[in-house]
C-alpha cells in the first residue's frame, strides 16, 4: 500500500517543479513599420506581404532577413497570449511550424533562441542595407549550421518559397483583420 502512495507523492512533487519562464522577444527599434501602430501589427502585415509574394524576396537578402526576423518574432509574440490572446490558437501552431521550415531553409540551428535569431537576422539586414557584407556574415555565423554565415547569406539571397510561412503569416493577417473588425463592432455598440 505504501508504494502507490510513494508514487503518488512523487507525481505531486514532479508537478510542483517550476515551469520554465515564457519566451520573450523584442524587435529592434529599426524594425518598427511606419504607421503600423505597434510592432506586432507591423510584423504581421509586412511578413504576410513578404511571404505571400516570394518573388519580392528573391535576390534581396536584406528583405528576406527582415521577413524571417518578423516570423521569429511573431512565433513568440502570438504564441504567448498577452495582448494577443484573442488570436486563434491555430495561428501560433502554424507559426511554430513555419519557423521550423524557415530555419531549415536558411540553415539556422534549431536551438537558437528566438531573440538571438531576431537579433542576427535584423543585424544582417541592417548590415546588408549599408553594403557591409562582412558584418552581415558576422551576424549570421553563430546561428548557421556548417557553412556558417556564408551559406546562410547565400540562402537569404536565393530563399526558396516557404509555403508554411506564407500560410501562417496570411492566417495571422486574417486573424488581425477579424480582431480589428470585432473591436470596431464592439465600439459601435457601446
Tens digit of pLDDT for each residue in 151-162?
Answer: 889 999 999 999
Q: Return the axis-axis angle of helices 148-157 and 61-77, rounded to nearest 10°.
A: 100
- pLDDT of 177: 92
What percent of the chain lies above the pLDDT cut of 70?
Answer: 80
For 12-32, what is the mean pLDDT? Answer: 63
Could you tell me where the DSSP H helices lie in 79-162? 89-106, 114-129, 133-140, 148-157
pLDDT > 90? residue 73: yes
Give the C-alpha separation, 30 to 122, whole Å.
9
pLDDT surpassing 90 at residue 119: yes
Q: What is the pLDDT of residue 19?
A: 40
Task: Provide the pLDDT confidence category of residue 1 given band limits of 50, 70 and 90.
Answer: very low
d(C-alpha 170, C-alpha 66), whole Å: 17
Segment 163-186 mean pLDDT: 87
The 10 Å Cβ neighbour count of residue 70 is 30
**Which residue is associated with the grid cell 514532479?**
14
Give kind and range of the element (H or E) at residue 186: helix 163-189
In this prediction, residue 176 carries a pLDDT of: 92
Mean per-residue pLDDT, 14-33: 64
Amino acid at each position: 500500500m505504501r508504494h502507490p502512495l510513494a508514487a503518488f507523492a512523487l507525481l505531486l512533487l514532479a508537478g510542483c517543479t517550476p515551469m520554465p519562464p515564457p519566451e520573450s522577444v523584442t524587435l529592434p527599434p529599426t524594425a518598427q513599420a511606419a504607421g503600423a501602430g505597434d510592432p506586432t501589427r507591423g510584423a504581421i502585415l509586412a511578413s504576410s506581404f513578404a511571404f505571400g509574394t516570394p518573388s519580392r524576396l528573391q535576390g534581396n537578402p536584406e528583405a528576406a532577413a527582415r521577413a524571417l526576423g518578423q516570423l521569429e518574432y511573431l512565433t513568440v509574440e502570438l504564441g504567448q497570449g498577452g495582448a494577443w490572446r484573442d488570436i486563434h490558437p491555430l495561428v501560433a501552431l502554424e507559426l511554430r511550424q513555419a519557423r521550423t521550415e524557415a530555419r531549415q531553409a536558411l540553415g539556422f540551428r534549431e536551438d537558437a533562441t528566438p531573440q538571438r535569431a531576431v537579433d542576427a537576422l535584423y543585424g544582417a539586414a541592417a548590415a546588408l542595407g549599408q553594403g557591409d557584407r562582412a558584418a552581415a556574415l558576422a551576424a549570421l555565423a553563430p546561428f548557421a549550421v556548417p557553412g556558417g554565415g556564408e551559406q546562410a547569406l547565400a540562402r537569404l539571397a536565393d530563399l526558396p518559397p516557404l509555403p508554411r510561412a506564407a500560410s501562417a503569416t496570411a492566417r495571422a493577417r486574417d486573424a488581425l483583420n477579424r480582431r480589428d473588425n470585432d473591436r470596431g463592432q464592439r465600439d459601435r455598440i457601446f
